[in-house]
Structure 1
């Protein structure tokens, strides 16, 4: 069993760089895909001295989907044998301690996994407390960060859809895997801590607030996903309308910069309907 790692970064902090160095001590090889514009960012000598760390960059921000594909294809095309090989992908907002990563590897190694496309840890947002369980359970979808992708099945499922740029690419990949008869599994005994927006509370209700651009991608990619898979969903436009309305109501009730975010959500929905995908280039006015 072989385990590799790929992490995407964008203007990385010192703690991000330290974490990359920690990952290099757990995985056979680590690919760092730098999405920072212009040139490779402040990846200091600590990273460059790790012999099993390779840094890739296009000098621009092509989004998470493109970066994850570059990482996966690097390993898929570069290995003599992809059977029993996994790549764990991260964005820079996620952290799993080394011991927990080793636990994930150990559990995966004991599984019968010919039809499992992804193994992932349990996810906890913020400082929430959850009880860890020893079971391995099947899931509809998991977030991409911290997931172990089965390289043998990667090309069968197809690469990440680069139209998404950010947001919903993980849901889409899991959907494609399940559509082809593969499974997505969660290793309940390991927890990944993930930041989801800006944690807020109002009237005793806790919620996560996202900026305008993230609201744009959430709205646009939701519409794109449903239209892309329209033959598999009944009441398609009703689903889109209800989901978009929920997002709008949440913003209007809870968020700051309400009008700006409403504009971005409407713009995102319109662009999704018209398949205007990729990176948002201009601000909504």
Structure 2
């Protein structure tokens, strides 16, 4: 366990997990946090997950049915709040943090808070090493567009961000209680983005720590570059959720103008690019169009 007076829990959301990858994650986290909560979203028996743990500082929740990422995150945060945890650090099952990952983010958020920053959450730099190495940029909202910052270039001590990814995100439970729950009717995709935009609206701040790096699979298949742009490869059902929830954010009252314009532009761009890279073009086309329609008319929840 890391040396700190703060009570830090980890939340891991699983769905048809690769047990080898999950075991690697568990082994790394067991010595870094006070307790690990695994939310079983289906595809694996609780007893199989139990076998991955060496100690007893864990709990498995969920009904083994896919209820979405947002509900899983809320249940993890609710349990942490009930047990007076100060922070929750959340992970996907395929994330691979380093040995001092949690300590690095905790020191980072404490330093920011001590400098009078009203911080809701912090996150690492993401690197996907499948194929060519891709570093995910940090997004900052401007008046009319979104600025993308390479977190590994320059001499950044802290990078102010408009959006964080929930995997690897260390959030303050006190901030979660003030900002509100993750929006469960989004189910998956942009669940983290929507919460971050509400955090900014409540005058909280979000930061990325350039010195903390995490390997993470940022799409279902290795991302590729097309026309100089990073293209994430997903199944048609994920295309549906991405296009539906992006449409919701474009129309959302908490979305800054720069992000709204950026999402609208990239939605059009990705519509055509996805048709070039997706294996089943017809299913993908139908999924994206249906997603936009459902987002506009407010048909939410699980597809």
Cα offsets for 1:133-163 (capped at 9, x unmatched): 5611211111111000111111110010001
Corresponding residue for residue 274 of structure 1: 297
Corresponding residue for residue 86 of structure 1: 87
Which 5+ residue runs of structure 1 have no aligned equivalent? 281-285
Q: How does 1:1-285 map to 2 (within 5 A)?
A: 1-15=6-20, 16-36=22-42, 40=46, 42-47=48-53, 50-79=55-84, 85-112=86-113, 115-126=118-129, 127-128=133-134, 131=152, 135-197=157-219, 198-199=221-222, 201=224, 207-229=231-253, 233=257, 242-280=265-303
Which 5+ residue runs of structure 2 have no aligned equivalent? 1-5, 136-150
Provide closer, same or farther for how the CA distance between residues 149 and 211 of structure 1 changes in structure 2, counting only shifts above 3 A.
same
TM-score normalized with structure 1 length: 0.86
SS in 2 for 1:33: strand
Which deviates the most, 197-206 or 140-149?
Answer: 197-206
Q: Distance in 2 between matches of 1:74 and 1:250?
A: 41
Q: Distance in 2 between matches of 1:202 and 1:151?
A: 37
Which deviates the most, 144-153 or 269-278?
Answer: 269-278
Which deviates the most, 246-255 or 125-134?
Answer: 125-134
Given that residues 11 and 41 in structure 1 are in contact (C-alpha distance below 8 angstroms), is that contact kept between their aligned partners in structure 2?
no
Instruction: Report how far residue 98 of structure 1 moved.
Output: 1.6
TM-score normalized with structure 2 length: 0.81
Q: Distance in 2 between matches of 1:203 and 1:112?
A: 40
Given that residues 38 and 60 in structure 1 are in contact (C-alpha distance below 8 angstroms), is that contact kept between their aligned partners in structure 2?
no
RMSD of the TM alignment (CA)? Answer: 2.7
Cα offsets for 1:190-244 (capped at 9, x unmatched): 112221222255778663321111111110001122233278659x7x8776443
Given that residues 32 and 53 in structure 1 are in contact (C-alpha distance below 8 angstroms), is that contact kept between their aligned partners in structure 2?
yes
Given that residues 165 and 278 in structure 1 are in contact (C-alpha distance below 8 angstroms), is that contact kept between their aligned partners in structure 2?
yes
Q: Distance in 1 between matches of 2:61 and 2:9?
A: 15
Cα offsets for 1:20-57 (capped at 9, x unmatched): 2331211011111110168536214242x521101101
SS in 1 for 2:102: helix
